[in-house]
Amino acid sequence: MLSALLDYPDQSLIDALAEIRATLPTHQAFPPATRIALNALVDRLAMQPLMDSQEEYVETFDRGRATSLYLFEHVHGESRERGQAMVDLLAMYETKGLFLGSGELPDYLPVFLEFLAQETPVQAYQLLGEIADIIRAIATKLAERGTPYCSAVAALLPLAGELPLTMTALVAEPPPNQEIDGQTLDKEWQDEPVSFLGAQAPASGQAQPIQFYDKRPTR
């Protein structure tokens, strides 16, 4: 469910929103504030035109590393080590029978959540806990921007055994006429990397761009 809400919105998501709304109350692992915030996101996606939702998604997640849903952006940035980390993560998926389609990257958070949904609860809990710092960092940035997508990322924290974000952060409204300039985005891309699945962040000044992977295709 959270994987679907965090993926690029399309008609299949819109068609599933009623089922998601009906399912939310059954998930007792979510605190009440989390369920309220998730319902607000579902309502927003249901009410606004699909094209508006798609534009909002791109503005939210594709304009800087601080809110990127590609997990290795927060660990390796553009260093060469990211390529091997991709290979290792993909191999972990394939040992469990999960094979990605063309253009899908294994470190995309919705893909990682699809994988966890096929794991045992104990293993899913452990792996989700390994990215808890990344999740909290993304959710905090989303809360600062006042986007309802904060709720879908923050909802992962209690599932990982972490303290949830505050109610205020989850239901924050976007600041009026807020604009994000290029300097702000450049600063976000320089945020301190964090660890994921035992990976070490690249040393300063040693990062090298990699050229052999594609971003999520524009839809």
**Whole-number pLDDT of residue 197:** 57
CB atoms within 10 A of CB 202: 18
Q: Is the pLDDT of residue 60 over 90?
A: yes
| pLDDT tens digits along 82-121 | 778 888 899 999 998 888 887 789 999 999 999 999 899 9
pTM: 0.76
| pLDDT tens digits along 134-190 | 999 999 999 999 999 999 999 999 999 998 887 555 554 444 444 444 444 444 444
Highest mean pLDDT among 24-33, 39-48, 60-69: 39-48
